[in-house]
Amino acid sequence: MGELDSTRARHVHWCLDSAADLSDVRADWRARFDKVADDLRAALGWAADRLDRRPDAYRLARRLAELTFTRNLLGESQQRFAQAAGLADDPAEAAAMLRHAATVAGCAMRGDEMHRYRLAAADAARRAGDPAEAARELATAATDSYRYSGSFATMIPQAQALALIDQARESAGDDAAAQAAIALAEAAVVHDAFGGGHGSPTNDVPQTLASAERAVELARRTGNLLAESAALDALLGAQCWAGQTFGSAATARRRIELLSTLPVTPATARELVDALGEVAEASLGAGDLPGAQRWARQLADHPLLAEVRHRAISWRMTAGALAGDPGDTLGLSELFRESWQRAGRPAKPALGAAVAGVAMIHGLRGDQNARRAWLSILGQLGAPAGHTYGYRAVFDAIELLHFGRPDEALQRLEPEPAEVWRWVTWIWLHWYVALKAEAAVLAGSTDTAERIAAARAVVAGNTVAEAIVDRAEALLRGDATKLIATAEVFETAGSRYQWARTMAFADGDQAAMTALGLAAMTARGA
């Protein structure tokens, strides 16, 4: 070995020691990593080209993949895990590295690359003589095509996903983890428990629930909390389709409880980000505005989303819009727009509720130019037309009722939930039903008492939606005392806008004063 090669070999060993030291994440970790990062990359570049240094190159690539993930350099982390897979002499280690590469690609919302790495991991597992692991990867690839369908540039056809499940069954044997992964894939692909992007979900809701519950039970038996969390996600989706609003919120909280006990890895971080979004969403559906805002803030602050701020703050914007908090919502909206534009204006339908909420706030404030600008952004997100009957109907109805146009609001909410259930059963059902009852009262419909009774049966247990229905009944009966009591419920529940609106309906001097407060809240510049 020449002197230069000897120096470089010592440098590689120094880099391996430095990388090992960085496994201790302290307050100064970022500065310590940045100081040696270029050394690690240079040493890896040299070692990777030499057969005699291949084991060192593998170890360094793996370390660098882990460290760059901690540093939130997702693109490099994915690249380094894939590089480590190519340097691994053991196909089992290659399979593990490819699995990590798939997970990081999923964190970065690169669904097509995630899918490719999953299939490569399955091939490596077969070469390693581990058919059960190959089955787990194949089943997970099928599940991900539904669970994270929004991250795919090219959707995986259902027939292809079903073929992956068939291949997984052939390899699984009696391995418990493989059987649990297959059960989850069946819940996703066959029964569409996630409500994925492959068309309408099955109308057999009981079967969808049963399939998801079986996936949860099998995952629980394995003791793998990540697998259990993924299965609970499927159960949550099935509960939403079944209209089990409070059950889905409880399931969402259960996922957070499970994940809070796990160390931070690419897989756990990705699962937690997904779970935080789900629990914020489910809390909104159940009328828990403070809870939704709390979970949404945790999601917004998660370091994994530092490079996609528009995605990170979207549920915080949605929660703020429903709570009637224009200051927070509009302040975040500019950050959202800048981040979304910087990312290349991606067509992400999942962001639609946040954008529609911002448009509504501008509408309430009377700024039609800003409202049109945000509706233009909404049009660029590629949201399915059916969302007209979900968040679009709810936000439009709030705005129409605000400006005293209940006939138009009632028309906007004309379809019964059963007619448009795909779009309202997630988090919008209670809002949709409650606002429809109020619109009917204000529009002078002849069947308002029946509508109120029917709405009350649907929204029972949802504090905010129940209060909207109570307000509708108080307006029908001209009961000012009940209006004031309802306003107090809104205030306690954190619904600033609905509190002010309720007080504006009441009689007397106090009503006049709070009406002025409502006007001030929604005026431009507030």
Query: Using CA atoms in the order 259, 264, 270, 276, what is the torsion angle rounded to 10 degrees?
Result: 40
Tokens for 471, please give them.
Answer: 């307000």
Q: What is the pLDDT confidence band of residue 522, given thresholds at 50, 70 and 90?
A: low
CA 36 to each of CA 16, 40, 374: distance values in angstroms, whole numbers, following the listed order: 11, 6, 44
Statement: residue 436 has pLDDT above 70: yes
Mean pLDDT of 180-203: 74
Tokens for 79, please give them.
Answer: 């690249």
Q: Are 168 and 125 in contact (CB under 8 A)?
A: no
Least confident of 38-42, 165-169, 206-210: 206-210
Statement: residue 514 has pLDDT above 70: no
CA 514 to each of CA 180, 482, 511, 517: distance values in angstroms, whole numbers, following the listed order: 56, 16, 5, 5
Statement: residue 454 has pLDDT above 50: yes
Closest residue by Cα to residue 226 from 258, 187, 186: 258
Closest residue by Cα to residue 153 from 108, 194, 118, 195: 108
**3-class DSSP state of 357:** helix
pLDDT tens track for 130-161: 999 999 999 999 999 999 988 888 889 999 99
Q: What is the pLDDT confidence band of residue 199, given thresholds at 50, 70 and 90?
A: very low
Task: Please enumerate in sequence order all residues whose Cβ is within 8 A of that of 345, keeping only pairs 6 or more positions apart, or say none.
Answer: 380
Encode 66-99: b = buried (16+ Cβ within 10 Å), e = exposed.
bbbbbbbbbebbbbbbbbbbebbeebebbbbbbb
Q: Where in the chain is the domain with CATH 1.25.40?
A: 1-129
Mean pLDDT of 239-265: 94
Residue 481 CB burial class (10 angstroms; 0-12, 13-18, ≥19):
exposed
CA 238/CA 245 separation, integer angstroms? 11
Statement: residue 11 has pLDDT above 60: yes
Closest residue by Cα to residue 110 from 77, 64, 63, 70: 77
Phi–psi pair at 143, nearest 5 degrees: -60, -45
Please say whether the structural domain 1-129 has been given the CATH code 1.25.40.
Answer: yes
pLDDT tens track for 291-325: 999 999 999 999 999 888 999 999 999 999 999 88
Statement: residue 202 has pLDDT above 50: no
CA 210/CA 80 separation, integer angstroms? 40
The CB density around residue 302, as the number of other CB atoms within 10 Å, is 16
The CB density around residue 453, as the number of other CB atoms within 10 Å, is 12
Closest residue by Cα to residue 19 from 35, 7, 3, 2: 35
pLDDT for position 309: 93
Closest residue by Cα to residue 63 from 51, 319, 47: 47
CA 511/CA 504 separation, integer angstroms? 5
Mean pLDDT of 472-490: 94
Q: To the nearest whole number, what is the mean pLDDT of the chain?
A: 91
CA 322 to each of CA 81, 120, 327, 415: distance values in angstroms, whole numbers, following the listed order: 41, 44, 13, 22
Statement: residue 184 has pLDDT above 90: yes
Q: Are 256 and 279 in contact (CB under 8 A)?
A: yes
Statement: residue 201 has pLDDT above 70: no
Q: Are 354 and 375 in contact (CB under 8 A)?
A: no
CA 35/CA 39 separation, integer angstroms? 8
CA 200/CA 202 separation, integer angstroms? 7
pLDDT for position 517: 57
pLDDT for position 490: 96
Mean pLDDT of 393-411: 96
**Look-up of token digits 């992956």:** 164
pLDDT tens track for 354-389: 999 999 999 999 999 999 999 999 999 988 777 788
**Look-up of token digits 């709810």:** 394
Q: What is the pLDDT confidence band of residue 197, given thresholds at 50, 70 and 90?
A: very low
Q: What is the pLDDT confidence band of residue 510, given thresholds at 50, 70 and 90?
A: low
Statement: residue 83 has pLDDT above 90: yes
Closest residue by Cα to residue 285 from 392, 428, 394: 428
Tokens for 457, please give them.
Answer: 């049966």
pLDDT for position 198: 40
Question: What is the end-to-end Cα distance of the chain in Å, rounded?
Answer: 73
CA 175/CA 181 separation, integer angstroms? 10
Closest residue by Cα to residue 78 from 103, 47, 46, 48: 103
